[in-house]
Structure 1
């Protein structure tokens, strides 16, 4: 088996949990194989909702559990499963959640990973309904072609620690810059785990991008990420750049109600509310580029959508981004370029706009969505064309030069 790196130490309240769960069923994660699913199937590991407990519910195989639980092993070996990530990219950390498995949790576990090319993956039998079953010889033979025994270790064998019955998270940071497409969860020797969260950043192969078609440059699956926000009381801004359409209000960005709103609200001549405050979220694009199309979707926000919004973009180096995060994004106003002026929004509706400027010099690396006065947005899509960009080192001041992918001019 592959050598184990020096990773896997437990962490408390890690920042990486604000990133995307790359294994979640909501982004296309899929269980390919599990050695055993006797009490509860491995598909529960990648559910997007939190685990639950039904005290008096039993199945024909035993206690109903919201997680993956194998039978008590009476043969040599240990249990394991393979998950294909819905978002392929860089893994920053894991949450191995054993909530409610107080007497049946797996005492130890490890996690391996691999980056497999799509066209070279073997055909593995569909799993179907698995409760009460173990892997068949045919399934073992098929999964053996993945050679998962030799995958890289991101977390070596580590003891799991139970916490409160309803909240037993075991966090493991990962220090790897490699791109990963699959993970293998090993449990020793058997037992249950409620959820496996694989937090990280999507990474797209931009060399294979069709330069004639606009791409969503802020999508979390491509590598976009929220790097700052004013308020996320009911939902994180990263939700807005998630995969697919929002399933509910919980799948979007929603702020608390601002307390500085006037006692009696008034509009200006354009129907925009006259309020002193606003909320904002800043995103790093998955790739520097030119934004041509903007979608701001308030679906599901029927009584709590923003009154209006605006969108701006800027160019920042990595060092400048780090400085802005420390300064809570107090960026000089002249740095921001308008992409969408202050615009009235409607509740429960997808809004499509053209970007204000399409000139080649308007390549950006970051964007800021401002909503007024508060409320919720389910999705933000920023379609455009990725560009090659030479970002300067800090303190260097020669003129930046941009080159745009072939085919871009033809699309303007």
Structure 2
């Protein structure tokens, strides 16, 4: 099952806090809405540290590595339980979001993996979250009594069940990924991972889409409308050989080249390169990626960052934008965005030369659109890597459904040389639209 597929669901578990409830936890820290570290965590017990399960890097095996508590494992491992109950931890997501699925990775835990798990979730207001001091690395220890008292205020055992008790597979190369889809697509802020009764987990990934409370954002406020923390999502791309374009929506600047969008070298590039009068390479091909904004809005500032890309940055790029309804997006995804003639892409940022390892900022007259958009298409030529794309602007609303449908019908009638028809009711509008266009609203 491809949870982290072409549409680019982001890992939503930037752990803000985790509480462990077991005797051994080695948890690698990793959260990627795709790359947000959870803020706090609580675990019943840590044999190996809980934070390890959130690390970006894949788990490793070190045959001769031992600690005072036993064999070193690259993950969260709890001791063999000799008391009633089971082990669990509570994780605060890096950003609130809609969860689409999980990957419980048991890499290298073969005779000591957790045999079963379940996952619960809650959407909590800030004032409902207890003040728990950072636990730090407490490998080999259980949660303290005062920590239990604080975390019990959450009543996490009563949270909504997203994944029922499920059998895991051992950490061999062909069985270590345990993908678990989620059917209840609601907004969550915290999750509780239960292991039954004890054992080890190497990595824990939470895949989904950030979901900001836009009711608290005024239309005068400027926001990065494409950021993953604000709900920006990659919905299509031409090439992601070395790095997925969704990485460009991440937090902060990139620390490594892999935390960006990098394509393969195009094989159709000319044997001898030439430039135009503006120094722009004249090449036949390009690479592209399409993004849905977290909220419709008017873009006022663009940032293209080639940080870490020094000998492999694109020669140039441009950005196109449009407003589309969900049905149009779904159809475009189905056609891999090859239906350009049906979409109304307009130029947001004209062709612009790029430079290595540099933040490029564009605003004012460089921005060619001042209308509300929902999607953008970043086009690089001929190929290469970009680490971040920021689209700062004001959230706004699209025309009402009635206005948009009526505009489309009038345009359709005009294009088809039909006589103008006065549209009296929304039912007439929809009936007419469905009859002649064959589309569902």
Normalization by structure 2: what TM-score? 0.84
Q: Deviations over 1:223-260 (max 9, x none)?
A: 11000100000111100001222121110000000000
Distance 1:107 1:249 in 2: 36
Could you say which residue in structure 1 is the equivalent of 2:435?
Answer: none
Cα contact 2:320–2:346 (8 A) shared by 1 = yes
Q: Deviations over 1:14-70 (max 9, x none)?
A: 4569311111344131342100002x1111111122111111111111111111000
Could you say which residue in structure 1 is the equivalent of 2:2?
Answer: 13
Cα contact 2:111–2:170 (8 A) shared by 1 = no
4+ residue runs over 4 A deviation: 355-360
Could you say which residue in structure 1 is the equivalent of 2:354?
Answer: 345
What is the aligned counterpart of 1:386 among 392, 395, 419?
395
Could you say which residue in structure 1 is the equivalent of 2:385?
Answer: 376
Cα distance, 1:389 vs structure 2:
1.8
Compared with structure 1, are the counterparts of its residues 163 and 394 closer, same or farther at alpha carbon in structure 2 (3 Å cutoff)?
farther
Compared with structure 1, are the counterparts of its residues 129 and 357 closer, same or farther at alpha carbon in structure 2 (3 Å cutoff)?
closer
Distance 1:20 1:187 in 2: 24
**Structure 1 regions of 5+ residues with no counterpart?**
1-11, 401-412
Say whether 1:22 aligns with 2:31: no
Distance 2:202 2:284 in 1: 45
Cα distance, 1:202 vs structure 2:
0.3
Cα distance, 1:358 vs structure 2:
6.8
What is the aligned counterpart of 1:71 among 69, 79, 86?
79
Say whether 1:152 aligns with 2:160: yes
Distance 2:181 2:285 in 1: 37
What is the aligned counterpart of 1:328 among 332, 336, 340?
336
Counting matched residue pairs gives 387
Cα contact 1:99–1:166 (8 A) shared by 2 = no
Compared with structure 1, are the counterparts of its residues 164 and 391 closer, same or farther at alpha carbon in structure 2 (3 Å cutoff)?
farther
Say whether 1:396 aligns with 2:405: yes
Could you say which residue in structure 2 is the equivalent of 1:34?
Answer: 43
Give the alignment of 1:153-192 within 5 angstroms.
153-162=161-170, 164-165=172-173, 168-192=176-200
Could you say which residue in structure 2 is the equivalent of 1:133?
Answer: 141
**Structure 2 regions of 5+ residues with no counterpart?**
14-29, 410-441
Distance 1:359 1:122 in 2: 45
Give the alignment of 1:254-293 within 5 angstroms.
254-293=262-301
Distance 2:189 2:288 in 1: 32
Distance 2:270 2:369 in 1: 40
What is the aligned counterpart of 2:323 among 309, 315, 323?
315
Could you say which residue in structure 2 is the equivalent of 1:199?
Answer: 207
Compared with structure 1, are the counterparts of its residues 359 and 271 closer, same or farther at alpha carbon in structure 2 (3 Å cutoff)?
closer
Distance 2:142 2:399 in 1: 53
Say whether 1:299 aligns with 2:288: no
Cα contact 1:31–1:42 (8 A) shared by 2 = no
Could you say which residue in structure 2 is the equivalent of 1:405?
Answer: none
Normalization by structure 1: what TM-score? 0.90
Say whether 1:228 aligns with 2:236: yes
Could you say which residue in structure 2 is the equivalent of 1:211?
Answer: 219
Give the alignment of 1:350-369 within 5 angstroms.
350-354=359-363, 356-357=366-367, 360=370, 362-369=371-378
The alignment's C-alpha RMSD in Å is: 2.0
Could you say which residue in structure 1 is the equivalent of 2:425?
Answer: none
Cα distance, 1:394 vs structure 2:
12
Give the alignment of 1:73-92 within 5 angstroms.
73-92=81-100
Could you say which residue in structure 1 is the equivalent of 2:64?
Answer: 56
Q: Which moved more, 1:163-172 or 1:224-233?
A: 163-172
Cα distance, 1:328 vs structure 2:
1.4
The structure, 1 or 2, with the larger RCO (C-alpha pairs under 8 Å, 6+ apart) is 1
Cα contact 1:99–1:194 (8 A) shared by 2 = yes
Cα contact 1:35–1:81 (8 A) shared by 2 = yes
Cα distance, 1:326 vs structure 2:
1.3
Distance 1:234 1:379 in 2: 15
